[in-house]
Structure formats: C-alpha cells, structure tokens
C-alpha cells in the first residue's frame, strides 16, 4: 500500500509540473511562411516573404580570352597599336554579373526597380617608363616594375573591379536612373556579335543616367522622350588646336587640348518604335550641347574668364534601326541593321565602347621610312583661340545576319562602317596646326584629318545545354586614314617604345579573336 501510494503521488506531481509547463507554451504554433511563386511578371519571380513585392535574381558567369585585342576591341592606339613587344598577345577576363529585378503592383501601376552589378578580373597592358640614363625601362602598370596589371593590382587574393551597369526605377511610364539610352537599337552594340567596338550607332550597353517618359500606344507602338546625362558616354573630343598640339600629340592621333567646360544641358533623345511579329522598326533623334571653357595659351590672361570663349553649339544625331524575323532561311534566323548620321554629336556613331583616337603602326616598303603609322581622331568639334566651334559630321551603319543551324549551333556574319569629316573649318584649323610643327610634318604631302573605319566579323556559338554557350568571334578592322607622305618624329615615345624616325603615313588593319564561355542563370 505504501508503494502504491508513492507511485500515485509521483504521477500526480509529474502531471502538475507538465500542466505548468504546458501553460507556458503558446496554444497554437505560428505557421511557417513559405516563399511563394509570383506568376504576374513571368518565370523566375517570387514574393519576398511578408510583402506583396515580387523579386527575380539573374545574371551570368563569363570566362574569355581575347587574342590581339583589348577585352574585345581592336588594337588601335597606345601600346595596343604599337605592334611590338609591349603589346599583349592576349587578354583574359573572368566576370560575374548579378541583376536584381523587383515588381510591386499599385493603384498607379507596377513599380519596378532594376539593378545590374558586374564583378570583373581583367588582365591589362604593359606601359613604358622613360629612364633618365638614355635607356627605357618598361614595367607593368605601376612604378615598381613588379606590380600586377591594372585591373588585378588590388591584391593577390581578391582584387578585380566592381561596376554598376544599370540602376533604375520605373513607374507610371517614367524611367529614372542608369539604363540603356532610348536612342539605342534594342541590340545596342551587338546586332549579332560579341565584338564591343562596332561603329554605326549609339551604344550604352553599360547604361547612362536619364529621366525618360515612355508612352505605349498599343499594337506594339511605343514612343519615348528622354533627358540624358552626356558626361560619361556622349562627349567625344572638343579640341583647342591652339593648345597642346605638338609632335607627341599628333603622333598619338590627337589634335590639341580637350577643352570641356562644365555640363550645362542634358542630351535630349526621342524614339518611336514599332514591334510586330515580323520584327521591329525604330527611328531615333538626339540633340547634344557642345560647351567648352575659355580660350587658352601662353598669354597672361589666357585660360581665365577675361580671355573669352567660343559660343555653345548644339549638335544632333538621327538614326534608324530595322530587325527582320521569321526569314525563310531557318527558324529563329534574324537580320538586324541600323544607320546613323551625326553633326557635332559623334558619340552617337562612335559609341561609348568604340575607339576615339587611332595610332596604329605597321610595316612599310618606303625607302628611308622606319615603319608606317595610321593616324586618326574623332571629335565633336574643334576650335582655336579667337574662333568659334567647328562641328564634326559623321555617318555610319552596322548590321548582322544570324543563322541557326540547329537548336545547338548558330553563326552570324556582321559588320560596320563609319565615315568622319571635319569640314572646311575644322580641317583648316588642324592642318594649320600640323604645318606649325615644322620639320616633323614637312613630309606630309596631303593633310586631311577625315577618316573611315570598317569592321567585318564572323561568330559561331555552340549551346550544348540550356544557358551554357561557347563562342568564337573573329573580327577584321581597317583604318582608312587620309594623310599621305611621311611623319618624322624627333620625340622618343617611351610609352610605345618607338624611336625617333621617319614613318610612312598609311592605312592600317588588325585582326582580333575572342573565345568565350558563358553560363546564364
């Protein structure tokens, strides 16, 4: 009986304790909130837990090698154009791109934010450091001779560079922030290629700050008006030929000091586009303000407010783009073409990733000449002390035809061509400054700063599994410069290791190859 009483007493005590503990627990466990698929805006969107905002993550990882190129542009100037032992035979790059897209439905329409960040590791070029003992010492970028290339010198373990391609808000038809410019064709610099440097149209593939309103009229018809910051992507050279025009500058494709004043007005861009099942057509226009500082030189008041200045001059550009789909050569085949004309707004043709100055060396058969050189430079306008701005005109075109052999292979042939003219006023200023260089330019038999440049290329892509693509892109570029005769420099150029010698002025060409592996996700 005592043992039975002990068991019953122990059980009662345990029940009392358990009851006390149960009283401390919530009556019902809180439900776990799982991530829900958001089907409103397409595949890949999910609701951010606890909100009515949908989010999508995307991007790619890329590994590539560019042969006889600069992370895929041609070898056009500086050590790249020198074609000697300082020129990198190849450049490698690894890149991770991350984009974040959010959408929220409101009574005023969808609010969208989009950001695209890029992390890159790119090898870079060697430069030369002139030594005072009559010899020349060459090192990689940095003065010690042992530092890593430019994009890798942040550390042996990490390093690299971080970039922001896009960062914008869209709401009620407005786009605010860093986005692709409205002037651009939908394919930007890439009608069918990986080559970055095609002329023949605008190209803000890395985005540009803007405030834009886009109207959708239905039936695939849209129009946009945009105020764009020109500082980073839309200013070509503004040369004052009275300042800094010397043998070294001319030998690198430059025509004097760049004389930008402060930014006074945004570029104004407009676009009308028709998107249909057969393809699209787009017409674009832009206005660009050229604003320089003051007349400069060696006088006591030159370069100051009292020296005076040329008046501002507005430049402009117009462009058209056409895409034709569903052509009879095969499923998914497409033709993309565009053309542009500019006056005082050269970057709408020689876009943000295209070269602005050319100094390309090559061989020569001319007796007495050490080598040949092709010289050219792009600009929005030129002037001299006491003159107004003389704007530069240009036109260009580019395009590609892409053929799909099967679901895994496709090939595109592409090309571009651009012509730039300084006009009578600008050419007279430049050639007058060239003549003032004396013996160095006395051998020039035809002075003409105009030039043409063309590129033709072929790319083949293999996609063995979804979102993994291997590509090989080869591009041939020719510089058709208009100078004739010889250029004799008495300035040793330590950055490109060229001696003081006579060089034949001659057209130049280069071939580049890009091998790329890219995984999209």
According to DSSP, the β-strands at 161-171 and 136-140 are unpaired
Residue 85 pLDDT level (bands cut at 50, 70, 90): confident
Question: If you write DSSP's letter for every residue of 391-427 in order, what string do you get?
Answer: E-EEEEEEEEEEEESSSSEEEEEEEEEEEEE-HHHHH
Mean pLDDT of 329-353: 96
Ramachandran class of 231: left when φ > 0, alpha when ψ lies in -120 to 50, beta otherwise: alpha
Which tokens go with 48? 């951010």
For residue 182, give the 3-state DSSP assignment: coil
Strand-by-strand arrangement of the 484-488 sheet: 357-362, 371-377, 502-505, 484-488, 444-446
For residue 400, name the pLDDT band (cuts at 50, 70, 90): very high
Confidence of residue 143 (pLDDT cuts 50, 70, 90): very low
Q: How many CB atoms lie within 10 A of CB 216?
A: 11
Report CA dihedral (462, 463, 464, 470) to the nearest 10 degrees: 60
Residue position matching structure tokens 């500058």:
249
Residue 20: band (very low, low, confident or very high) from pLDDT cuts 50, 70, 90:
very low
What residues contact 24, with CB distance under 8 A and at least 6 apart?
A: none
pLDDT at position 139 over 60: no
User: What is the average pLDDT across 455-482?
Assistant: 98
**What number of other Cβ atoms are within 10 A of residue 105's Cβ?**
14
Q: What CA–CA distance (Å, rounded) separates 35 from 18?
A: 36
When pLDDT is averaged across residues 368-374 and rounded to a whole number, the result is 96
What pTM was estimated for this model as a whole? 0.87
Q: Give yes or no for a contact between 513 and 472, defined as CB atoms under 8 angstroms apart.
A: yes
Question: How many C-beta atoms surround the C-beta of residue 225 within 10 A?
Answer: 14
User: What was the pLDDT predicted at 84?
Assistant: 87
Scanning the structure block, which residue is given the tokens 């690299």? 160
Q: In angstroms, rounded to a whole number, what is the distance separating the alpha carbons of residues 104 and 112? A: 7
Report the range out of 1-10, 69-78, 126-135, 345-354 with the highest average pLDDT: 345-354
């Amino acid at each position: 009986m005592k043992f039975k009483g002990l068991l019953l007493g122990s059980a009662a005590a345990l029940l009392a304790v358990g009851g006390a503990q149960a009283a401390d627990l919530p009556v019902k466990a809180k439900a776990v909130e799982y991530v829900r698929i958001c089907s409103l805006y397409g595949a890949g969107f999910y609701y951010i837990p606890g909100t009515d905002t949908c989010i999508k993550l995307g991007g790619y990882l890329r590994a590539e090698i560019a042969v006889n190129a600069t992370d895929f542009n041609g070898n056009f100037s500086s050590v790249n154009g020198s074609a000697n032992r300082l020129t990198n035979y190849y450049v490698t790059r690894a890149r991770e791109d991350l984009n974040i897209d959010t959408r929220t439905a409101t009574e005023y329409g969808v609010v969208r934010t989009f950001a695209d960040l890029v992390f890159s590791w790119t090898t870079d070029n060697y430069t030369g450091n002139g030594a005072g003992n009559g010899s020349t010492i060459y090192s990689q970028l940095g003065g010690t001779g042992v530092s890593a290339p430019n994009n890798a010198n942040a550390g042996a373990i990490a390093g690299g560079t971080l970039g922001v391609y896009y960062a914008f808000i869209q709401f009620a038809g407005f786009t605010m922030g860093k986005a692709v410019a409205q002037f651009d064709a939908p394919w930007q610099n890439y009608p069918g290629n990986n080559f970055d440097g095609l002329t023949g149209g605008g190209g803000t593939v890395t985005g540009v700050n803007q405030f834009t309103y886009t109207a959708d009229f239905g039936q695939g018809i849209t129009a946009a008006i945009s105020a764009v910051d020109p500082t980073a992507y839309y200013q070509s050279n503004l040369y004052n030929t009275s300042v800094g025009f010397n043998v070294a500058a001319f030998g690198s494709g430059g025509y004097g000091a760049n004389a930008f004043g402060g930014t006074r007005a945004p570029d104004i861009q407009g676009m009308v586009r028709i998107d249909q099942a057969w393809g699209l057509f787009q017409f674009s226009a832009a206005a660009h303000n050229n604003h320089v500082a003051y007349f400069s030189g060696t006088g006591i008041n030159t370069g100051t407010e009292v020296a005076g200045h040329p008046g501002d001059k507005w430049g402009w550009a117009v462009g058209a783009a056409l895409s034709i789909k569903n052509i009879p050569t095969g499923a998914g085949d497409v033709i993309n073409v565009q053309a542009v004309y500019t006056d005082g707004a050269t970057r709408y043709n020689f876009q943000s990733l295209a070269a602005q100055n050319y100094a390309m060396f090559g061989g020569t058969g001319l007796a007495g000449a050490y080598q040949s050189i092709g010289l050219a430079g792009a600009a929005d306008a030129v002037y001299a002390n006491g003159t107004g701005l003389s704007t530069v005109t240009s036109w260009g075109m580019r395009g590609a035809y892409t053929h799909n052999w099967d679901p895994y292979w496709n090939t595109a042939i592409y090309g571009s061509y651009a012509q730039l003219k300084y006009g009578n006023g600008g050419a007279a200023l430049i050639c007058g400054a060239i003549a003032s260089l004396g013996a160095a330019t006395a051998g020039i038999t035809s002075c003409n700063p105009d030039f043409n440049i063309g590129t033709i290329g072929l790319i083949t892509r293999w996609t063995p599994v979804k979102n993994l693509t291997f590509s090989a892109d080869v591009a041939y570029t020719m510089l058709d410069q208009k100078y004739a005769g010889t250029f004799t420099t008495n300035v040793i150029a330590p950055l490109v290791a060229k001696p003081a010698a006579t060089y034949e002025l001659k057209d130049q060409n280069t071939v580049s190859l890009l091998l790329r592996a890219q995984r999209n996700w």
